[in-house]
Amino acid sequence: MAQMTMIQAITDALRCELRDDENVLVFGEDVGVNGGVFRATEGLQKEFGVDRVFDTPLAESGIGGLAVGLSLTGYRSVPEIQFFGFVYEVMDSISGQLARYRYRTGNTFNMPVTIRSPFGGGVHTPEMHSDSLEGLMAQQPGLKVVIPSTPYDAKGLLISSIRDNDPVIFLEHLKLYRSVKEEVPEESYTVPLGKADVKREGKDLSIFAYGLMVHESLKAAAELEKEGYSVEVVDLRTVQPLDIETIIASVEKTNRAIVVQEAQKQAGIAANVVAEITERAILSLEAPVLRVAAPDTIYPFPQAENIWLPNYKDILETAKKVLTF
Amino acid sequence: MGEKNSKQFDPAATLETIENQFEMFQILNEEGKIVNEAAVPNLSDEELVELMSRMVYTRILDQRSISLNRQGRLGFYAPTAGQEASQLASHYALEKNDWILPGYRDVPQIVYHGLPLWKAFLFSRGHFVGNQIPEGVNVLPPQIIIGAQYVQAAGVALGIKKRGTADVAVTYTGDGGSSQGDFYEGINFAGAFKAPAIFIVQNNQFAISTPREVQTAAKTIAQKGIAAGIPSVLVDGMDPLAVYVATKDARDRAVRGEGPSLIETMCYRYGPHTMSGDDPTRYRTSDNDSEWAAKDPIVRFRIYLEGKGLWNEEKETEVIERAKEEIKEAIKKADEAPKQKVTDLISNMYEEKPYNLQEQYEVFKAKESK
């Protein structure tokens, strides 16, 4: 075991997979000798060579096409999109192509591709760096969408994603890269895709969250405990497909729930969680399932992030509405 | 700008110099005469006959496909008549293990690379079995998103280079497709990685109703290779020998590790853009048609081969009859394909079904067993 930040855990997962599977390739803009703009691929090119870890021209669509083509010749690609706001350039390669190959070829070709990309607010990035666009990806049949919130989960989920034989979108929150440290095993291990994790047990209210909002939810849960409420915090970890079993079991226990996301209310995946709960556990509910989400505007100018991004205070407020409904 | 400066800096002259590099490469003229003796490929008599047979077969395939489409026995179909040299002579320069990334009009190439004809018909109708490519046949289903095949070809070519095999990735688009971002990214990536790819632009003069001149101010599409720093050539796309030589040359250079090439084949589609309601009389004149009818690749190749005593009416009839027979068999086989079920479509989504599809699978399985 070693103390690792999330970014170190990610690098470690990439190192494990590059070492264990010679078909794994890591590529993108500045991921080679530079080690990535956030040092996620630091040292990998030196260790595994320029044939395994390499830079590309600056063109996201081309990077997506490269991943498709390399899969057809038997490689397992782990391309990087420098910031997920740039996904619009590569929407066809991801949603129009990668996601559809197994289906369109009647299960004769498949795309074992993991697209890594950072996103998320709170660090005053320029335009189109921090937008939460996981909702777009979650709507595309053929993809899986993974968003870790801790170093331990990040390593295990990334290894699972790379080993998955279908395309996975692996989104890394910028604010979580270095803000949390925890014990992470040095050897290879996996955390299953499509499985949520109860980060804190409780019996009065379930909070479903992912990404940075998991930590804000834990903070809110600690505050609520002081007021006598026992709050369960469930980290979804995979936002598509959802872990229905864990979600419903939690709601059936607590009878009250809120869903917390950083994305705008009309975006993200919170509406989907609410709909699933409504369809499957409405008779367990003592109150409506409310959402904590950002306003339905374009992502804020950097100086307005602190008044715009949802935080633990918003979660507290919404939680109390549900607890006292 | 002063006179002195204009002599030092004359971009118009630079452009003219570039454009003059792209003279049309031709071996066999419209009368079936060799006009470039030095460039004649080293093809045996049998190979010449085989290439002619494939072109005639494909012309019949086109005629029958249009007719079957009109009868409602085929679905989506993009006519190929006129492009036989461009499609089949380029394919003839490939080897078994080369990869083909076709566009939606490039069904003949993947059929001759090993896709059974009945599957090509199922592709047209919209049945997933049509896209179940037999193992070892290195082709993709026809790509509908114009340009996507180009970036993917760069990836396949890089994969081939990494594997170290002596194969190439070949992809096709049309003149309109050369305006796409993925067209440029594809040729540029392959150039930057020095990957063994051949990019073919079949310039059939029209993108649906939009003439080639509306796509770009560039005098040729071939010169767009300059932007990627890769060799490129403008070829008479109605001349099977010229198309074959250009593709063979590009392939030889690619497997020698010299990187990708761009080939523009100047050709024409005699039919509509697709059979989905396009009416070419709205945007093409009969002068257009008769000008290009005179350039027919089959006519000139027929004259050439007859002159060598390699072809005659009897041989042609034999190919036509064989084509009709095989097409009939293939349609019959396509008819026999089991109807698609939602459970099939669900099963083809992922290696392991996520919860939502597992649930939906059970629902549809119950419906289907009623």
The answer to whether B269 and B85 have CB atoms below 8 angstroms apart is no
- HSE-up of B301 (CA within 13 Å, CB side)? 29
Residue type, B45: D
pLDDT in tens, B208-263: 999 999 999 999 999 999 999 999 999 999 999 999 999 999 999 999 999 999 99
Where do the domains of chain A lie, and which CATH numbers do they carry?
A: 2-184 (3.40.50.970), 197-324 (3.40.50.920)
User: Would you report the helix, strand and coil content of chain B in percent, each value rounded to 5?
Assistant: 55, 10, 35
Q: Please report the number of interchain residue pairs, chain A to chain B, with beta-carbon separation below 8 angstroms.
A: 133
State mean pLDDT over B183-195. Answer: 98
Parallel/antiparallel/unpaired status of strands B197-203 and A144-146: unpaired
pLDDT in tens, B71-116: 999 999 999 999 999 999 999 999 999 999 999 999 999 999 999 9
Out of A66, A105, A166, the one facing B154 most closely (by C-beta) is A66
The alpha carbon of residue B277 is apart from the nearest alpha carbon of chain A, in Å, by 25
CA distances B301 to B28, B53, B238, B291, B312, Å, are: 8, 11, 9, 17, 12
Contact B189 A66 (CB under 8 A): yes
A129 is catalytic: yes
Q: Which residues of chain A have pLDDT under 70?
A: none
The alpha carbon of residue B133 is apart from the nearest alpha carbon of chain A, in Å, by 7
For the sheet containing B197-203, what is the strand order? B99-101, B169-174, B197-203, B261-266, B232-236
Q: State phi, psi for A103 to the nearest 5 degrees.
A: -70, -45
pLDDT at B8: 78
Q: SS3 string of A94-148?
A: HHHHHHHHHHHCCCCCCCCCEEEEEECCCCCCCCCCCCCCHHHHHCCCCCEEECC
Contact B140 A72 (CB under 8 A): yes
A295 at B interface, C-beta within 8 A: no
pLDDT at B6: 55
pLDDT at A1: 86
pLDDT at A99: 98
- HSE-up of B129 (CA within 13 Å, CB side)? 17
| pLDDT band for position B136 (cuts 50, 70, 90) | very high
Beta carbons within 10 angstroms of residue A165's beta carbon? 15
For the sheet containing A257-264, what is the strand order? A197-200, A231-235, A205-209, A257-264, A290-294
Residue type, A323: L
Q: Which residues in chain A are closer than 8 Å to B146, comparing Cβ atoms? A: none
Contact B355 A74 (CB under 8 A): no
A142 at B interface, C-beta within 8 A: yes
Residue B1 has pLDDT above 50, yes or no: no
Q: Which residues in chain B are closer than 8 Å to A102, comparing Cβ atoms? A: 348-351
Out of A57, A96, A102, the one facing B350 most closely (by C-beta) is A102
Q: Which residue in chain B is spatially nearest to A67 when comparing CA positions?
A: B155
Contact B133 A56 (CB under 8 A): no
A249 at B interface, C-beta within 8 A: no
pLDDT at B353: 97
CA distance A140 to A138: 6
CA distance B143 to A311: 45
B188 at A interface, C-beta within 8 A: yes
Q: Which residues in chain A are closer than 8 Å to B350, comparing Cβ atoms? A: 102, 142, 166
Contact A75 B153 (CB under 8 A): no
| pLDDT band for position B5 (cuts 50, 70, 90) | low
- Choosing among B122, B165, B189, which should be mutated to test the A contact, i.e. which has the most A CBs within 10 A? B189
pLDDT at B9: 85
